[in-house]
Chain A
Amino acid sequence: MKNKTLLALLVVLGLGLAGCASQNEKPAAVTEGAGQGAETSGAGEQPGATGTALDGDKTSSADLLGKRRVYFAFDSSAVDDESRGIIEAHATYLAAHPQTKVVLEGHTDERGTREYNLALGERRGQAVERMMRTLGVTGDRVKVTSYGEEKPVATGHDESSWRLNRRVEILY
């Protein structure tokens, strides 16, 4: 009897935890963007909704603006063609909205060493920053930060998670 109650409690706690963890990664990122004072410009995201960058396959610029994450190959900060389209859409928007500040937050997967990954995440952010600057996002309103491998969005230990974690988040 006692064991069953305990088990039920553990299950509830476990679910609570899992829910909490997944809810928490994203709002944390969104809040940070909000801290820069531009939460409502986020292309119609529902606050608290998960799956931010995953909806829709259409390629209008509004859809590209809905994508807030660009992805990278292992130990690379090279921007691929798909990412280029997303970065261009955001750069165009930001060039037209000179008051909007943007944070480019670089992340890596868990492989390799933590301090190296912290530097690698920064390089990814800087790669996106360089592209944005050449596209007319000027001044000191672009800020690059890195969390290295410390804030994964997917917590598995294989490529299906790793590819989602090697990313730059475009936050404004």
Chain B
Amino acid sequence: MKVLAKTSVRGALLLTGLVLMFWSLTARSILTIEITQSLDVGMPIAIVPFGWEGTSKPPQDVSAVIEADLARSGHFRIQPKKDYLSAPHVQKDVIFKDWRRLLKTEALVIGKMRQIGPDKYRVEFRLYDVFKETQLAGYEFDVPASGLRMVAHQFSDIIFEKLTGEPGVFNTRIAYITKEGIPRRGVMFRLQVADSDGYNPITILSSAEPLMSPSWSPDGKRLAYVSFEKKRTMLFVQNVTDSTRTLIAEFKGNNSAPAWSPDGTRLALTLSKDGNAEIYVMRLADRSLTRITDNPAIDTEPAWSPDGQHIIFTSARSGGPQIFRVSAQGGTPQRLTFEGDYNARASYSADGRMLTLITRSAGIFHTAVMDLKTSALQVLTDTSLDESPSFAPNGRIILYATIVQGRGVLASVSSDGRVRQLLKLQEGDVREPAWSPFNR
């Protein structure tokens, strides 16, 4: 069975150079994941350590990457390796009834890796339905060592989708801001991009002044963000791979809160050039501005509905901050949140049915979700001082920033609240996570 689609890892090579360049800066700045809550009820799956044919040690344990991905998702229970009766790498060595009867496993992942050139590896993955004794997926990839984690994440996504019916988000990236004290130089802020599991961090911008509000373009190729590098807010759009950037807004007052329209042609943003924070839409082709809000209170934190028809935003027009929705052409905003006296920084799930936002409850700032049909608000977190929540592109996970033991960390919670994780730096604070769109 050779449906083995050859998937190229375009971009992986390009990224390698950058990773090396910034390695000295980022060696201490790798996010590590700690699972803080998981339910042991997922689908049982066995992942056999992959076979290896090569002269030296394999440059990457790809089956371990897949295992970590699936374990982290909360949808699977990984069967302990000590219970495996065999270690097949090819289908002819798989004895399905052993896996079925003795391990009660439902799915089986096997594979092998072979060195086929100086920096070239052929990786073969297969996923089986143990009960039906059929192959659910089989792929082969030829990649350099630097692409091995990426193909492992790609296969994790395939496994996730075959077994849950929904796309996985392992082969996506996250952008975030770090703040680290540097001896004799004060504080360093960095805008970084890493794989969804925190590996391969790349610093795309460093500054002694704060950086804020990273926002991915829908094609995943650019980031809009706010920089204080000239001691005031300026809004840039930067190409993630080659680091070229364009200054987008430096009006008098604040230039903040960029959010890409789903079609990638416009940015919603907050400007206070006329004295008060208002939402605008900028057409990127000619930088023309359309003013969306007009109210003496704070209006900020715009986010687009997935169909591009509406913009939601935070407004203090009714007292404390609340979420409002307005047509992307402007008009009269409609208030969406009524529960609690502080609701802010909302954004949509990809299906447009839910919002995630920050809500204050008994003085604590929590990440919550709101069902747009019922307006019911559900607090998802037990952390306080939560900020900057956003949905993963498949809508199953919410990533946000919070403070744990005095340190800025990223945290994730499944949208049903069951699985929780923390992503921490060894040193310094990390904040303002933004999940990339699907890798296409």
Contact = CB atoms under 8 A, between A and B. Distances in A.
A80 to B, nearest CB: 19
B179 to A, nearest CB: 9
A112 B344 contact: yes
B11 interface: no
- The list of the 6 closest CB pairs from A to B, nearest first, reads A150-B210, A24-B186, A119-B277, A113-B345, A115-B257, A113-B344
A147 B232 CA distance: 8
Given A16-B184, A116-B300, A126-B275, 4 more contacts: A20-B184, A21-B181, A114-B213, A116-B345
A119 B298 contact: yes
Contacts of A157: 385, 403, 406
Interface of A: 13, 16-17, 20-21, 24, 28, 32, 75, 110-116, 118-120, 122-123, 126, 144-148, 150-151, 156-157
B301 A116 contact: yes
Contact of A115 (B228, B345, B385): B345
Contacts, number: 101
Contact of A24 (B187, B272, B301): B187
Listed residue (B253, B320, B385) with the most chain A CB atoms within 10 angstroms of its CB: B253
A146 B254 contact: yes
B256 interface: yes
Interface string B380-408: 00000101100000000000000100100
Interface string B157-191: 00000000000000000000000011111110000
B321 A116 contact: yes
7 contacts: A16-B184, A112-B344, A113-B344, A113-B358, A115-B345, A123-B277, A157-B403
Nearest to B403: A157
A149 B374 CA distance: 33
A145 B232 contact: yes
A13 to B, nearest CB: 6
B342 interface: yes
B232 A118 contact: no
B358 A112 contact: yes
A112 B183 CA distance: 30
A151 B321 CA distance: 22
B324 interface: no
A134 to B, nearest CB: 16
B256 A112 contact: no
B365 interface: yes
Contacts of B385: 110-111, 157
Interface in B204-223: 210, 212-213
B183 A13 contact: yes
A157 B403 CA distance: 8
Nearest to A123: B298
B231 A20 contact: no
B195 interface: no
Nearest to A17: B181
Interface-central residue, B186, B388, B403, B406, by most chain A CB under 10 Å: B186
Given A75-B342, A113-B387, A119 B184 contact: no
Contacts of A146: 233, 254
A119 B256 contact: yes
A20 B184 CA distance: 6
